Structure 1
Amino acid sequence: MATVLVIGASRGIGLEFVRQYREAGARVIATARDDEGLARLKALGATPLRIDVANPASVSGLAWQLDGEKIDIALYVAGAWATADARTPPTREDFDRLMHTNVLGAMQAIPQVAPLVEAQPRGRFAFITSEMGRIAGVDSSYAWIYRASKAALNMAVASAQHDHPQAILVALSPGWVQTDMGGAAAPLTVDQSVAGMRAAFESLGPQHKGAFLDYDGRPFEGW
Structure 2
Amino acid sequence: MPTALIIGASRGIGHEFVRQLLSDGWKVHATARDDKALEALRAAGAEALKLDVTIPESMAGLGWQLDDVKLDLAVYVAGIYGRLDGANVAPTMQDFDTLMHTNVLGAMQAIPMIAPLVEAAGGKLVCITSGMGSIGEAESSTAWVYRASKAALNMAVKSASFDYPQATLAVIDPGWVRTDMGGPNASLSVEQSVGDMLTVIDSLTPADSGSYRSHSGRVIAW
The normalised TM-score by structure 2 is: 0.97
| Matched residue, 2:101 | 100
- Give 1:77 shift: 0.2
Residue identity matched to 2:209: K
Match of residue 87 from structure 1: 88
Separation in 2, partners of 1:56, 1:148: 22
**CA–CA separation in structure 2 for the residues paired with 1:36 and 1:94:** 27
**Greater displacement, 147-156 / 64-73:** 64-73
Matching residue of 1:178: 178
Q: SS where residue 119 of structure 1 aligns?
A: helix
The alpha carbon displacement at 1:158 in A equals 0.3
What is the identity, as a one-letter code, of the residue corresponding to 2:19?
Answer: R
For 1:64 and 1:84, the matched residues in 2 are separated by: 39
Superposition deviation, residue 113 in structure 1? 0.3
Aligned-residue identity in percent: 57
Q: Could you report, residue by residue, the CA deviation over 1:67-97 in whole angstroms, capped at 9, with x for unpaired residues?
A: 2200000000000111222221111111111
Task: Please name the residue that 2:136 is paired with.
Answer: 136
For structure 2, the 5+ residue unaligned runs are none
Alignment match, 2:162? 162
Show the counterpart of 2:32.
Answer: 32
The alignment's C-alpha RMSD in Å is 0.9
Report the counterpart of residue 146 of structure 1 in structure 2: 146
In structure 1, give the amino acid aligned to 2:88. Answer: R
Separation in structure 1 between the aligned mates of residue 100 and residue 152 of structure 2, nearest angstrom: 9
Q: What amino acid maps onto 2:174 in structure 1?
A: P
Note if 1:187 corresponds to 2:187. Answer: yes
- Report the number of matched residues: 221
| SS of equivalent residue, structure 1 residue 163 | coil
Specify the alignment match of 2:204 in structure 1.
204
How far 1:183 moved relative to its partner? 1.3
SS at match of 1:99: helix
The reply to whether residue 61 of structure 1 matches residue 61 of structure 2 is yes
Q: Deviations over 1:159-208 (max 9, x none)?
A: 00111000000011001111111111211100000000111111101221
- Deviation (angstroms), 1:17: 0.3
Aligned to 1:115: 116
Q: Which runs of 4+ in 1 moved over 2 A?
A: none
- Displacement after TM superposition at 1:56 (Å): 1.3
Gaps of 5+ in 1: none
**How far has the Cα of 1:132 moved from its partner?**
0.2
**In structure 1, C-alpha distance between the alignment counterparts of 2:119 and 2:100, rounded to whole Å:** 26
Tell me how far 1:41 sits from its aligned partner.
0.8
Offset at residue 8 of structure 1 (A): 0.5
Rounded to whole Å, the distance in 2 between the matches of 1:94 and 1:128 is 20
Q: TM-score, normalised by structure 1?
A: 0.97
Q: Distance in 2 between matches of 1:62 and 1:11?
A: 20
